[in-house]
Structure 1
Amino acid sequence: MRRLLFSLLLLAAVLCGCSQEQKYVIGFYNVENLFDTSDDPLKDDDEFLPEGRNHWTQDKYEEKLGNIAHVIRAMKDENGAFHTLLGVAEVENRKVLEDLVAQEEIASAGYGIVHHEGPDGRGIDVALLYRPDQFELLESESIPYTFEGTEVQVSLSPEEQQAFRTRDILMVRGLLDGEQFAVYVAHLPSRSGGKGGDLRSVGAEIIYRHSEEMMEKYPGIKIVVMGDMNDNPTDESMKVWLHAEGDIAGVISQEVYFSPFEEMFKDGYGSLSYRGEWNIYDLILVNYSLAAAPDGGLKICETADGYYGYVFKRPFLTQQDGKYKGTPFRSFSYGEFIGGYSDHYPTYVVIK
């Protein structure tokens, strides 16, 4: 019996790829409109001012900060450690990030911030929070969203392409446990009006091409792509233009990305709900070097239920009654602050 138990434990360790070694949590969270209360004349932030449509006061801002920090702390309590890397979307500026990481519940993580001001019309950006005690920052780049050289059939006219503005894509390179990592954080164009599939495909194409250059420049580099893609893992942007594969056994070269949330989506999991349907737009993908670790070192780990990703869905993050019962407990409803967290659940993966 002891021998059988030992064999089962050994098998579990092999499945995860590493047994008792140090684990690192890498995640993404769309924090839903994290704006400060100050007017920025260069941004369309009027609705997030005390006299604006949302009556965005200092008290509401501080409550929002505390809520997001509480979510990050809750994930820490579940995993036994704060995220090593946490990508975030819908943040107004560096100040809101500084205020967030200073919150009492998460200040002990000592998060560093990587953020570049972008050209988005709403004034929202993406950013990366990282633990300097685990991740050594080497460089970062704000990659412009451009139609130049795209092979995607785009519906916009040349004039419309020239005028189009959306979030830049953030790339961060650094060392994690002595290994080269590149992390991309994206918030691809929205589905407003049911459109934009071609625009999201362009964004995925930009990420893929840039990551190809990184893999050529730094052979063996481990790459993480994360963000609010505004597409599901089975959509064209991910499958065709980011070359994503939902079966880890099918990731056999650097040309293919492993998409941990594809099987979860097919099985009914979701990170946000729209008109009664669950979607996983909050995606994390990894390249062959991190999916298979052919040269050893860190690799993505399988969960206890056979997946490779986690959707952090907890009762306190979920609407408990009313029309939207069972969906993410959001911060805003019809322009009113209702004291929730976000209209998205966080997602994350674990590597060892």
Structure 2
Amino acid sequence: MKRLISTLAVLLLLSGALFAQKGGSRNYIVGFYNLENLFDIYNDPAKNDEEFLPDGKNRWTQEKYNKKVHNMAQVIAAMAKDNGRFHTILGVSEIENRLVLEDLVADPQIAAANYQIIHYDGPDRRGVDVALLYNPTQFTYLDSESIPFTFEGSKVDITLSKEEQDYFRTRDILMVHGLIAGEHFAFYVMHLPSRIGGKGFDLRSRGAEICYNHAMEMMKKYPGIKIAAMGDMNDDPFDDSMAVWLHGRENLDEVGEEDFFNPFLSMIKAGYGSLCYQNQWCIYDQILVNSTLAKAPQGGLKITPLVKNTYYGRIFKKPFMIQQKGQYKDQPFRTFSNGSFIGGYSDHFPTYILISK
């Protein structure tokens, strides 16, 4: 009965949001969420998923998987409730395959959004991919591309040997192209190489360089196109990958034609965080927008302030998403802690921006 009431509430929410859009005010939510190891329970010989099997290290049973999917949908539904509408675009990372996304979007808490899935199986050795969910009532899909992580032509000073470069595998970068209210948009979804062992700064810079170069080509191909680059960057907004190689700028008046505006740069300076890494709050979960989306003329879609007319980005967290006690008190309530299943959500908080006319 509770599930039925919850589903009806979400349906009413969606219908209200659509009505509001038809009334003239055009608001679109674009977000990103690291789902923290959303694996199914089945063995895929092509992927390193042994820990996430019923007899694996994590004892990943159907019951635990169902709980995980329910929790991820709960967060997405909570964001929709706060915003009065579902996301138009939601990039995600740390998902094993399309199957887990199909289960997620079918969850009764968010099924009314009718999210469509863009996903490619990638080469990451750990077996996790990025993907994009879109609301077909608000976004018209045109085409997409899985952009491989290569080293050819890079201007980044790469520390890996040629042999190491040939062996290296990580997530591809996803690009999705389509229309919102008749305007061309390109969305990039990334999960840049990790910081394990204090390494990877050059690899993250290379990933940002790949994204930036592709975005510049899209701007040449589609003059006036609006671009948002999102993901788990494994770097903060002030790190080289974001500030130098992706040309992320803190203030709108600093954004040139070939720059990106990073709304989370001012937020990290103010003490906000989307995850806690080595007991320090960081914002690895970022969404940057190109100059066309940052400074569109009146009547065009552009990024709009979300918080007290000051911040253009939001880090979404509710009490149920936060660890309430113990060693990790006040940090994200994650799925596992010290190797034990604790039934939480993710070690990252989702982030999003608002686009409107």
Q: Shorter-normalised TM-score: what interval? A: over 0.9
Deviation at 1:250, TM superposition (A): 1.1
2:5 aligned residue: none
Q: What is the rounded CA distance, in whole Å, between the counterparts of 2:60 and 2:339 in structure 1?
A: 10
Q: Which of residues 62, 67, 73 is equivalent to 2:71?
A: 67
Equivalent-residue separation in structure 2 for 1:291 and 1:169 (angstroms): 22
* Separation in structure 1 between the aligned mates of residue 316 and residue 327 of structure 2, nearest angstrom: 22
Matched, 1:297 2:300: yes
Deviation at residue 121 of structure 1 after TM alignment: 0.4
Q: Paired residue for 1:46?
A: 50
Q: Give me the whole-angstrom Cα distance separating, in 2, the residues matched to 1:30 and 1:117.
A: 17
Partner of 2:276: 273
Q: TM-score, normalised by structure 1?
A: 0.93
**Which of 164, 167, 184 is 2:188 aligned to?**
184
2:179 to 175, 186, 197: 175
C-alpha deviation, 1:302, in angstroms: 1.0
Q: Please state how far the C-alpha of 1:312 moved relative to its aligned partner.
A: 0.2
Aligned residue runs from structure 1 range 11-22, under 5 A = 21-22=25-26
In 2, the alpha carbon distance for the partners of 1:295 and 1:106 equals 33
Q: What is the letter of the counterpart of residue 292 of structure 2?
A: S
Residue matched to 1:6 = none
Q: How does 1:1-352 map to 2 (within 5 A)?
A: 21-251=25-255, 253-294=256-297, 296-305=299-308, 306-352=310-356
Alignment size in residue pairs: 333
Q: Give the deviation of 1:276 after TM superposition.
A: 1.9
The one-character-per-residue Cα deviations of 1:178-212 (angstroms, maximum 9, x if unpaired) are: 10000000000000001110000000000000000
What SS is found at the alignment partner of 1:323? coil
- C-alpha distance in structure 2 between counterparts of 1:247 and 1:111, whole Å: 33
Q: How far off its partner does 1:335 sit? A: 2.4
Measure the CA separation in 1 of the matches of 2:112 and 2:306.
27
Contact 2:307 2:314 in 1 (8 A): no
1:119 alignment partner AA: P
What's the offset of the Cα at 1:20? 6.5
Supply the AA of the counterpart residue of 2:301: L
What is the Cα deviation at residue 21 of structure 1? 1.5
1:267-312 deviation line (CA, Å, top 9, x unaligned): 0000000222100000000001100004741000012330100000
Tell me the CA shift for residue 22 of structure 1: 1.5
Provide the C-alpha distance between the structure 1 equivalents of 2:144 and 2:324, rounded to a whole number of angstroms. Answer: 40
Residues 324-349 of structure 1: CA distance to partner in whole angstroms, max 9, x if unpaired? 00000001112222100000000000
Moved over 4 A (4+): none
Q: Distance in 1 between matches of 2:294 and 2:158?
A: 32
Alpha-carbon distance in structure 2 between the residues aligned to 1:291 and 1:205: 20
| Alpha-carbon distance change, 236 to 190 in structure 1, aligned in 2, over 3 angstroms | same
Q: Distance in 1 between matches of 2:258 and 2:111?
A: 39
What do the CA deviations read for 1:95-132 (whole angstroms, capped 9, x no partner)? Answer: 00000000000000000000000000000000000001
Name the residue aligned to 1:15. none
Query: Tell me, which stretches of 5 or more residues in structure 2 are unaligned?
Result: 1-22
Mark the runs of 5 or more structure 1 residues left unpaired by the alignment: 1-18
CA distance, structure 2, for counterparts of residue 294 and residue 161 of structure 1: 44
Over aligned residue pairs, what C-alpha RMSD do you find?
Answer: 1.1
Residue identity opposite 1:293 in structure 2: A
| 1-structure distance, mates of 2:133, 2:109 | 15
Determine the C-alpha separation between the residues in 2 that align with 1:188 and 1:304. Answer: 28
Question: Given residue 288 of structure 1, which amino acid in structure 2 is its aligned partner?
Answer: S
Counterpart residue type for residue 306 of structure 2: T
CA deviations over 1:75-103 (Å, ceiling 9, x no partner): 00000000000000000000000000000
Q: CA deviation at 1:148?
A: 0.6
CA contact (8 A) 2:193 2:204 kept: yes
* TM-score normalised by L of structure 2: 0.92
